[in-house]
Structure 1
C-alpha cells in the first residue's frame, strides 16, 4: 500500500513542494492590503476618484491597488494610498515557524 507523501506535512510544506508557496503568500498579502485600503476608504467615505486625485494618480492605478490578485503593487504606490487616507504603512519580516516537534508517542508510532 503506497502512502501519501503529504500526510503529516503542513499546508505550507505542501505548497512549497508544489512550487506554489511564494505565489500563494504574495496573493494572501495582497488580499489583506486590498481589503485594508477598501475598508479605510469606506471609513473615510472617500470614493475611488477622490482617492486617486489625492494620490495624484489615475483611477486605473488605484484599481490595481484594490485588485486582490494583482501582486505587482509597489511600496511607493501603497505608501501614497495610505498617506492619502491618513494612514502609514508598516511592514515586518517574520521568521518562519520552526517545524512542529513530534511527541514521543508520534515518534514511536512511526517506527512501528
Structure 2
C-alpha cells in the first residue's frame, strides 16, 4: 500500500500544479470521476497499469516503470 500512497500523492500534486479537478481528469481520461477517486484513494489498493498510464497521459506526463 505504500507504493499506492506515493502514486496517489504524485498524481494529486500534479493535478494541483495544473489546477485540474477530479472531474476534469476523468473527462481527459474518458472515464468516470469514481475511477479517478479510486485512483487517488491511498486506501484502495486496486490499480491497473492501464488506469495509471491513462491518468499520467491525461496530465501530459510519461509513465516510467522500472524493476531495479
TM-score w.r.t. structure 1 length? 0.59
Give the Å deviation of 1:43.
Answer: 0.5
Match of 2:6 in 1: 32
Larger Rg: 1
Structure with a larger share of its residues in helix: 2
Question: Matches of residues 1-112 of structure 1 in structure 2 within 5 Å?
Answer: 27-94=1-68
Where relative contact order (Cα < 8 A, 6+ residues apart) is larger, the structure is 2
Give, in whole Å, the separation in 1 of the partners of 2:5 and 2:64.
16
Query: Cα RMSD (Å) of the superposition?
Result: 0.7
State the alpha-carbon separation in 1 of the partners of residues 2 and 64 from structure 2.
Answer: 17
